[in-house]
Each structure stands twice: as structure tokens, then as C-alpha cells.
Structure 1
Amino acid sequence: MTAAGPAAGSGGCRIVVIGVGNQFRRDDGAGPEVVARLSGRLPPGVGLLVSDGEPAALIEAWTGADVAMVVDIMLGDGSGAGRLHRIVPGQSGWPQERPVSSHGLGLAQAIGLATALGRMPGRLIVHAVEAADVGHGHQLTPVVAAAIGALAAAVERDVAAALAAGGPIR
């Protein structure tokens, strides 16, 4: 994990953006790529970090945050590669029937454990892009690379909304 965890933004709202992934597994590098793009573009005090998605590391990263945003990939059948998703766990659209992460244990397990331990952030938002290929390689596939700008912009909008509201956003 790299960079800083949640810090109070200009509105006093503690926000952290966590890019989850592995830059050596093609599209799995999307989360870290979004964090790299957001570096220097978010207001002072917004935490930016990269994680491999291990549940304990995610819980540590978002503990104490008013708003945590996780940026990751979703696995699908390939037909929706590059499609963006904004998911609030516990609301409709949260995929619970099949694994959506390329990580053995991942976000769903982190959420379950954090809930049991009382270490969930005030609000958790997942921004994801559907992956085309998570095999070995250093570059994103063209379809996922083309979606990174829009994915970063979606995170920026949610950060701005959280700061304007002074706390958790819907």
C-alpha cells in the first residue's frame, strides 16, 4: 500500500480514494492507474493510496474515513469490457451472486469483516471498470485504457460532492 490514508479535506470531511489492483496483470492495474491520474488533481487532504485488495489492508485504509472510494475492476464475461460502474454496497446493483473481483479474497470479504468489527467508513462507494484481460502483462487493454479518464472523472465528482456536503454522500 502506498500514499496517505484518510485525512480531513478542506470541508473537514475525511476522504480516502483506494486504487485496488496489480499493475502486472493487465486490466487489474486500472485502480492504481486511476490513483496515479488523480495525484495532484484532488483537493489537499484527500487520501490517495494503492492496495493489493487484501481485506485487512483495505479495512486499515478506510478506517476513520467519512467517505471511502474504492477503484477496482469487475470481472464479467468480456462483453461489457470498459463499462463503468458506481456501486454503493448494500444498495441495488451490489453483485453478491458471483465474484466480481480478480483478487482471491477481496472487497466483499473486507466489507463483511469491517462490518463485523465496526470499522466501516461512513460511506463506501465502489467505482469499477469491467475488465477485458487480467492475464500477465504491464499494459491495460485498449478498451479499459480508454475508460480510465472517465473513471477518474467519476471519482473526482464524488470527492467534490462529499466535500460540498461535508460528509457522506449518496
Structure 2
Amino acid sequence: MSSSVPHAKPGGRAAAGAARAASPSIIVIGVGMKMRGDGGFGAAVIEALRAYPAVVDRVRLAACDGEPARMIDLWQGYRCALVLDAVRGGSERHGFVYRRELDPEVGDFGAQPGGTSHAVGLGAAARLAHVMDRLPGRLILYAVHGRDFRLGAPLSGPVAQAVPELAARIGREVLGALAAAAAGAGKPAKGG
């Protein structure tokens, strides 16, 4: 589903590992399909991020249908994965975006308002990846509270408004993290 997901090539895991080593350290995964109303939020944010050349050049952008094994395959080998999705229900207002970071000790996001619009969801993928030791160093969820997930429906007004705002926020966060990592790379190790 992702235009940035490499296809399998001869050479197996060694070739895939070498390709991944040369790739960016951060991946942003938009979960959902454009034709599912507010469920297309993640894909819409990925498209909006493509307007930021500094992000596109330094971060991998991918789309996913939310199937846990595909998400795990996408984020494996990255230091940081940001997952963008839409949730149903919850007490927050329609169009509200929240951020949760995975607790690496337990492989869980803690309490999440609402439920994902996908069959199994990110929580199950994170728990499975935790057990399999295939989590990225950091796993961050950005989710919007959606209302209309009907097939063929467009993004609702409040969710559509959240797309450019979140794209700008992610751009700032990602570029800030990359700048901090680059600044830290030039410093000597403590105690040495």
C-alpha cells in the first residue's frame, strides 16, 4: 500500500538489512484508507508531509492498512516510528489530536481514549512486537478523534482541519529530533 515500501528483491535479509542501514532513522506511518472517511486521516497527513522537502529528504513516509504484521515490518530497524491513525468515540471532541508514547517496559500505550477504526489496532501490534523484540527505540502514536468512517465518505471538517496542523507539528518534532541527534553525535561520550 505504501509508495515508499521497498519490494522484496533477491538477496534476502542481508540485502534488506544493508538497505535499511542506509535509510533514515525515523519512519512516519499513516494508517488508514482515504476512502473510509475519517479513517483516511493517517494517509492524508502522510500526503501533507510530502510538501515538506526537509522532512521527505530525511524521514521515511509510509502508508499502511493497520494490519499488525505490516506495521511491525515497516517500523523494524528504525530508531523512532510515528504512527498516525483515527480513533472512534472517546470523551475528546471530534477532530482533537492526541499524542501517546509507548512505554517500552511493558509494550503498551496506557489508557487510550476511544478505539482504533481498524480491526486489531496499534496496541496489539505493539504488544506483539514487544514480545518478538521488534519494537523501534521509540514508538509514538498521533490519533485524531473521528466521527464518520463510512466507505466513500470524505474526511469530516474537524478532522480535515487537523491534517495540516499535525503535518506541521510532526515536521517540527522530527526535524528537532534529527537536529538534536546530530548535535549529540559530535559530543564525546561521558566518562571518556
TM over 0.5: yes
SS at match of 1:31: helix
Higher relative contact order (CA 8 A, sep 6+): 1
Shift of 1:38: 0.7
Q: Structure 1 78/68 Cα, relative in aligned 2: closer, same or farther at 3 Å?
A: same
SS at match of 2:57: coil
Map of 1:15 onto structure 2: 26
The alignment yields a C-alpha RMSD, in angstroms, of 2.3
The count of corresponding residues between Structure 1 and Structure 2 is 162
Map of 2:155 onto structure 1: 140
SS at match of 2:119: coil
- The percent identity for this pair of structures is 37
> Which structure is higher in helix share?
2
The CA distance in 2 between the partners of 1:99 and 1:110, in whole Å, is 17
Map of 2:13 onto structure 1: none
Whichever residue aligns with residue 156 of structure 1, its letter is: G
On the 8 A contact 1:78/1:132 being kept in 2, the answer is no
Map of 1:3 onto structure 2: 3
CA displacement 1:47-94 (0-9 Å, x = unmatched): 101000000000000000011000111222576110011111229xx4
Map of 1:32 onto structure 2: 43
SS at match of 1:159: helix
Q: Structure 1 100/61 Cα, relative in aligned 2: closer, same or farther at 3 Å?
A: same
Q: Structure 1 128/64 Cα, relative in aligned 2: closer, same or farther at 3 Å?
A: same
Asked if residue 104 in structure 1 is aligned to residue 115 in structure 2, the reply is no
Shift of 1:106: 1.3
Shift of 1:20: 0.2
Shift of 1:96: 4.1
Asked if residue 70 in structure 1 is aligned to residue 83 in structure 2, the reply is yes
Q: Structure 1 123/138 Cα, relative in aligned 2: closer, same or farther at 3 Å?
A: same
> Structure 1: which 5+ runs fail to align?
none
The CA distance in 1 between the partners of 2:98 and 2:90, in whole Å, is 15
Map of 1:166 onto structure 2: 181
Larger radius of gyration: 2
The CA distance in 2 between the partners of 1:163 and 1:147, in whole Å, is 24
